[in-house]
Amino acid sequence: LKLFCLKLITSRTLFPAVLCRVAAMLRTLASRSSSFLSRAAAPHISSSASSSSSSSAALLCRAAARPSQPLARVLAPRLLGGGQPRFSSISITFVKAEDNSELTVPAEPGQTILEVAFENNIDIEGACGGECACSTCHIVMSEEDYAKFDEPDEDEADMLDLAMNVTETSRLGCQIKLTKDNDGMRLTIPEGTVSFLS
């Protein structure tokens, strides 16, 4: 289901009717799950399953009703992050190069930088939805933070070659998973992005 939904949010040719159809399927699933689980004498589980599926259906309907809003920003936080509230144990600061404005946001170890950006409405496009197929989640780290991660693999390096304003400490946000050691990390969002998915 996650792979199917990720294909949905990265497609540029979807019609709202498709999303509404998926939403209807989710509502049906929620209804059937609720009925089955209630017969199994587990009302508390039934309520949770119904609420989760109904919430996903509502999310899809909102995306269909607002086609001008990038689908990745509507759906990706739920698909990539699981859609459940999590206890935040670290903080990350994003700095926009164009005006030096800063925003410190909560994050959870195990998330990628792109997931954190999506969840907190940071101005990072992430056009491919985190599949390392574009350079629109390009960020720049300090040398100290850069050294805490493995070197970019070949796929990431190829995508970075297509990015604007690349530096020696540039990375793609979708390829960086956070740990507790990254608490307080500052990331610069460079000016300009190039997307070949448009």
Q: How far is CA 167 from the centre of its chain?
A: 24
pLDDT(33) > 80? no
Distance CA 194, CA 92 (A): 24
How confident is the model over 97-107, as pLDDT tens digits? 989 999 999 99
Record the pTM: 0.57
Q: What is the mean pLDDT of the chain?
A: 73
How confident is the model over 45-96, as pLDDT tens digits? 444 444 444 444 444 444 444 444 445 554 554 444 444 445 558 999 999 9
pLDDT(32) > 90? no
Mean pLDDT of the 185-198 span: 75
Q: Are 95 and 191 in contact (CB under 8 A)?
A: no
Of these ranges, 73-77, 87-91, 124-128, 147-151, the one predicted with the greatest mean pLDDT is: 147-151
Q: Are 148 and 181 in contact (CB under 8 A)?
A: yes
- Diameter of the chain measured on Cα atoms: 60
Strand order across the 102-107 sheet = 102-107, 90-96, 185-189, 138-140, 170-172
